[in-house]
Amino acid sequence: MNPAQLNQAICGALTGLKDHAGELRDLDQALGDGDLGITVTAGADAVIAALGALDAAATPTEIIKATAKAFANANPSTFAALVAGGLLAGSRTFEGKTDIGVADAATFVRAAADSIATRGKAQLGDKTILDAIMPVADALAANTDDARAALASAIAAADQAVVATTALQSQRGRAAWLQERSIGLPDPGETAILRFLQAWQAAN
């Protein structure tokens, strides 16, 4: 995937993700403050505008950095800060690259997940966005020879993570305040990752 294709793929996926803003809002109302739908919509619009204004010669690293900056600036939320930080960490793995393959994507996602884990003080099993991102990195790394198969595997991994962690008690953020009442409710951040990947597949 060259830089122009990367830019287009991100914009297409974010356009599709906005269609799920209502679902994400409802999930976040059950476990948080209900602003995830707004965060996703405002962030997507800001990123699409920022990437549309980039120079045609922008590198993959510059594209991801612009994405992170636009998403963070569009929202004051913790979710936006964690995602932006993850994107910036991932962008560094693209340094010097002009073409992005599945192996590169796997490395990117792993770096983003590590950043989110550190900044969010989260670990697998805490029922956070991390529980979806880490399996996605593993799925991509296991399917580096076939981009379509890798994406399908990543989507399946994220879906399985959402289902598996629904039965857990949330351990981080506002969701943790609900304690036992969080059991049986899907995590909105994990769901956002799943919907983004599905939107990426549909758009590309």
Q: 26: domain range? A: 3-203
Torsion, Cα of 5, 105, 16, 188 (10° steps): -160
Query: The pTM is what?
Result: 0.92
Mean pLDDT of 9-23: 97
Residue-level pLDDT at 162: 95
104 vs 24, 85, 90, 91, 98, CA distance in Å?
A: 29, 18, 10, 10, 11
pLDDT by residue (tens digit) across 156-189? 999 999 999 988 777 666 666 557 666 778 899 9
Domains of the chain: total = 1
Between vectors from CA 182 to CA 180 and to CA 188, what angle results, nearest 5°?
165
Read off the CATH number of the domain in which 190 is found: 1.25.40.340
Please give the single-letter amino acid code of residue 43.
Answer: G
* Residue 28 near residue 55 (C-beta atoms within 8 A): no
pLDDT by residue (tens digit) across 27-80? 988 887 778 899 999 999 999 999 999 999 999 999 999 999 999 999 888 889
Matching residue, tokens 């792993």: 110
Residue-level pLDDT at 204: 82
